[in-house]
Chains A and B, each alone.
Chain A
């Protein structure tokens, strides 16, 4: 099989998709977390500042989801169809929640009435929370595996998705994004809101650490296929160690009020957790709980080598472009939020 840098094409594309999902988690993660925390701010001005902290960037962040979706479609069409049609109802709710998140941000500032703003505040908080929980739930189910048969047909029902493990991962994802979002907001605010947020960040970090420990233990005990690869390659255990160190560093930097460093570490933990997930899955993408033989591997699902080569070239050209103007936009809007006449 054709390889580049010692990796075959499906593996490379698996990494690309992993990178895109990580990008989405790191970037939209703080938007979603900020949204989930929105109702903790009581004053109108605080809510506006929180909203404008993500105002110029959230749309660009959401693009990573679109690209990741497109990349999965293009690289592993079989998996794209299987996952999306299996999680039909959750994804429909997810899409509707994405619509509500977008219009809440966009519409809130368009009318001065208190009830109008309150309505969109609630809608913003609920949709951000729901998006996060649904993503976490899908992730939790993918970690455990799905009841799919040899024809890749799903043999469960809607209730299959609502199992304790998936719900635990959903809550963990929420706790991670809330922490990530809170750290982002601290960096963007000043004065009394800043003080309020420093307390909130502390609570979020405690909540996340609790969820992190709990879901790590449960995964180790109940999901053996996730840890198999680690037993074969013991050096991989450095990663969980790194995860623990990263979590400790988030806490340490928050305590030391070094929020930018804490933000870097909370981005890292998102990446590390997804890498652990990817290692557990590889070379499968969808694990069958009915028979390991029926799992869908990247080799079975991959598009043709020619198609993958074309898309790797696109990614090689496109990614530096996207990253450069993402940096440019973040640089343009660096520093604390100041409200003006163009703000939300």
Chain B
């Protein structure tokens, strides 16, 4: 049987990867919802309310699965990684507690109003709730990414105790929060989430346009999605560069793995694509000569520390995996910029919605930000191995010492079955909602009719 370490890592990787399908969608959708409902309040056009209602229903589905799979993550720290929990609790715990009390409570509290409050609160209060839910999901990401960034670039702590009793103790809260990587990584993660959500909105809009259904609302939602997506895709260039730069400063072994750079100290190229031979320590592919040197030191001739400069026990072993996932993320980032800019150009030329091929492309493009988000995290988390807290705590030392392999096999099988079922149901229900489409308010005449009926009802009810 595989070791408890391997099993626990597989379980954590599987449950977090599955979980991470959903939060980026909620975060991105949250922003789109704020814009849609804001447009409704500003213009008073009923169509915006209809698409807001439509997307809130989809939001609820995504949010629900995100919460359910997210609670698993919180508890897994304790169940499978008890030594890690003890080691980081003083620091990580406060970020997690802040996430719960400031972020999660906000979004879950107001979600009820978002979903069921349409007839119970005023338009303004409903809009306020939408903003609170969107903000709550962003704050959630903030605290979680801060905690994760502390593991990448720990600051503001001291180590107390030794061996199994050792733990990191906080010395400066703000230094912990604003550790060297948290701002860059948070902005990168949040823009990745905006892309995930906005591409879902555009995908559904494009699909209606291709099918010639709900054309007017589909165009409206596509434009909302596009406005978020184009801004996020372009800004991602900047945050992506910043993130790579912090890695070069603080995690040189990870950077070397991302670029497949082996020589201890040499001018390093930047690969557009390639293949890494993990066994022989060779990388082949198409590269910009001196590119990595330029990124790291601002000069094409400066030497960069490579993987061979680190003892084998202090650098990642799955170099090709890190290399490929990192390059997939970047390639997709570029494609997203090209697609959104092209769409904006055609929108300006007023020809966007006639371009069937582009619309079809956008239908499928919903997968791209998802793949990029996943791949980026794989590169970041596999690339920091063998450390769980960089330079301080090894992944192999972080386990729960009392948990046996058969217990982890049990839970892993359980999660695999449940998550497979969950994913099938999610796709089925999402598809159903999309097929059904938004409930459009009937035209003016019917509306006034409906209105008078409602008035009569109100007059008849004893409460009035």
Contact = CB atoms under 8 A, between A and B. Distances in A.
A318 B67 CA distance: 20
B324 to A, nearest CB: 32
Contact of A74 (B94, B119, B173, B418): B94
A57 B87 CA distance: 35
Contacts of A315: 101
A303 B90 contact: yes
A95 interface: yes
Contact of A60 (B89, B108, B118, B402): B108
Contacts of A91: 75, 78-79
Nearest to A154: B402
B422 A85 contact: no
A80 B425 contact: no
B54 to A, nearest CB: 12
Nearest to B408: A88
A240 interface: no
A307 B90 contact: yes
A318 B101 contact: yes
Interface in A78-133: 78, 80-86, 88-89, 91-93, 95-96, 98-100, 102-103, 105-107, 110
Interface in B383-434: 400-403, 407, 410-411, 414-415, 418, 422, 425, 429, 432
Given A95-B72, A333-B112, 15 more contacts: A57-B112, A59-B64, A60-B111, A67-B105, A81-B84, A82-B82, A85-B82, A93-B414, A311-B93, A311-B94, A314-B102, A319-B101, A325-B109, A325-B110, A342-B115
Given A77-B89, A307-B169, A63 B402 contact: no
A62 B229 CA distance: 33
Contact of A99 (B74, B82, B400, B418): B418
> In the complex, which range does the number of interface residues on chain B fall in?
35 or more
Contacts of B414: 92-93, 96
A70 B110 CA distance: 21
A96 B71 CA distance: 10
B275 interface: no
B89 A73 contact: yes
Nearest to B114: A56
19 contacts: A55-B115, A60-B109, A62-B71, A66-B74, A74-B93, A77-B167, A78-B86, A80-B82, A88-B411, A91-B75, A91-B78, A92-B414, A99-B69, A303-B89, A306-B170, A306-B173, A311-B97, A332-B113, A333-B117
A71 interface: yes
B216 interface: no
Contact of A83 (B74, B78, B116, B169): B78
A-B residue pairs, 9 tightest by C-beta: A77-B89, A74-B93, A84-B78, A81-B82, A56-B112, A318-B101, A85-B400, A67-B100, A81-B85
A292 B164 CA distance: 22
Q: By CB atoms of chain A within 10 A, which of B61, B68, B83, B100 has the most? A: B100
Given A96-B418, A99-B69, A310-B173, A77 B411 contact: no
A70 B60 contact: no
Interface in A290-344: 303-304, 306-307, 310-311, 314-315, 318-319, 321-322, 325-326, 328-329, 332-333, 340-343
Nearest to B170: A307
B121 interface: yes
Given A88-B403, A102-B64, A81 B171 contact: no
A322 B109 contact: yes
B98 interface: yes
B104 A67 contact: yes
A303 B90 CA distance: 5
B140 to A, nearest CB: 10
Contacts of A33: none
Contact of B102 (A82, A318, A328): A318
B71 to A, nearest CB: 6
A304 B88 contact: no
A55 B112 contact: yes
A329 B110 contact: yes
Interface in A211-269: none
B464 to A, nearest CB: 15
A103 B68 contact: yes
A328 B425 CA distance: 33
